[in-house]
Chain A
């Protein structure tokens, strides 16, 4: 499709006509019949125009087909389905956002439940250890020992429960990571679609540039506006390979201290 659009390969019909009329033009000029020569030049012009129109027509059809392949102009159920694939992609990504946010919140719920229990266990066992050592050094009065006895009893009861509950939280946190499997699959599907769209777009661009070449159209394209970093551009991919981007907190600290921070 693209090769057909190459204006180096004119129709054989056109080249034949060109050859024939050029020879005749030479003959008329040599014979001194300028009136006929002029009308031949007109004919030549017409042949050129016609071949140009034909090329443009062909390219327009190709363009139209490419646009249809691009799935933005649904004309039958099949294309309608392809189009819905595009809007489906945003739904899918929305689903990823929901899943990841749900998993993050679930994990944090569990962590927020487990942390105070772990802290309490740490504090209680530290207190008991200190008292226990005093007891071993025989520094404890009988009344104090009776009180310690009760506390140790209580600690055994609660620490088993707390450890059990922390264990369950950890195991649920493990399960909450199952989103990665689902979101991974969804993102891979969307990536495939984006690649497809990119290919179609590329062939559209190539097609359009051929139309421009044939018709001699020159576009005045303004230089793209520099993207302002003021609004924020989000996380940087491949930060390690770029010099305008810091690759971590150490880089940030170095930069700030070079500014006198």
Chain B
């Protein structure tokens, strides 16, 4: 299971990386926005994408749309972990095809629950 973590703050990437490791996912890479994440996704054979929304350069929602528009990536499970809390935004993310939405600040238990739910559905 190879996971890409996209967030512009290195501390948040590190927190998510640690939580994922606790859940048994040790194979993770990091990117700081959509622009650096997309080429990695295209060449890297990732199984799961965890992304923030608000980032300089390419935002998380644009990254999600780009992933869904790419024939090779369109089935990639995407979990959004973000401080964006407007109802419109959550609806927009759902319409763009997000698989899970975790709003910051979040707990390890919430992250675990959402990730498990996503994989349950896929299997």
Contacts and interface: CB of A to CB of B under 8 A. Distances in A.
- Do A and B come together as binding partners? yes
Interface of A: 101, 104-105, 108, 111-112, 229-236, 239, 244-249, 252, 255-256, 259, 261
Nearest to A261: B94
A245 B86 contact: yes
A249 B103 contact: yes
A245 B91 CA distance: 12
Given A229-B92, A232-B59, A236-B86, A246 B103 contact: yes
Given A108-B11, A252-B101, A252-B103, A229 B94 contact: no
B88 interface: yes
Given A230-B59, A246-B103, 6 more contacts: A232-B54, A232-B55, A235-B85, A236-B86, A246-B85, A252-B90
Contacts of A111: 18
B94 A245 contact: no
A248 B103 CA distance: 7
Given A105-B11, A232-B61, A234-B83, A112 B18 contact: yes
A111 to B, nearest CB: 7
A166 B86 CA distance: 41
B18 A101 contact: no
Contacts of B104: 235
A259 B92 CA distance: 11
Nearest to A255: B90
B23 interface: no
A232 B103 contact: no
A104 B15 CA distance: 10
A229 B84 contact: yes
Contacts, number: 76
Interface of B: 10-11, 14-15, 18, 53-55, 59-62, 82-92, 94, 101-104, 106, 110
Contacts of A259: 91, 94
Contacts of B89: 229, 232
13 contacts: A108-B14, A229-B88, A232-B55, A232-B89, A234-B84, A236-B86, A239-B85, A244-B87, A245-B86, A246-B103, A247-B85, A249-B110, A259-B91
A177 to B, nearest CB: 15
Closest 5 CB pairs of A and B: A232-B54, A235-B83, A104-B11, A232-B53, A236-B85
The residue in B55, B86, B91 that gathers the most chain A C-beta atoms within 10 A of its C-beta is: B86
A141 to B, nearest CB: 35
Nearest to B93: A256
Nearest to A103: B11
Contacts of B91: 255, 259
B11 A246 contact: no
Contact of B106 (A229, A230, A249, A261): A249
Contacts of B85: 235-236, 239, 245-247, 252
Contacts of A256: 90, 94, 101
Nearest to B83: A235
Contacts of A249: 102-103, 106, 110
A69 B55 CA distance: 36
A99 B97 CA distance: 37
A58 B45 CA distance: 71
Contact of B11 (A101, A229, A231, A239): A101
The residue in A232, A236, A259, A261 that gathers the most chain B C-beta atoms within 10 A of its C-beta is: A232
Given A105-B11, A256-B94, A259-B91, A230 B86 contact: no
B12 to A, nearest CB: 9
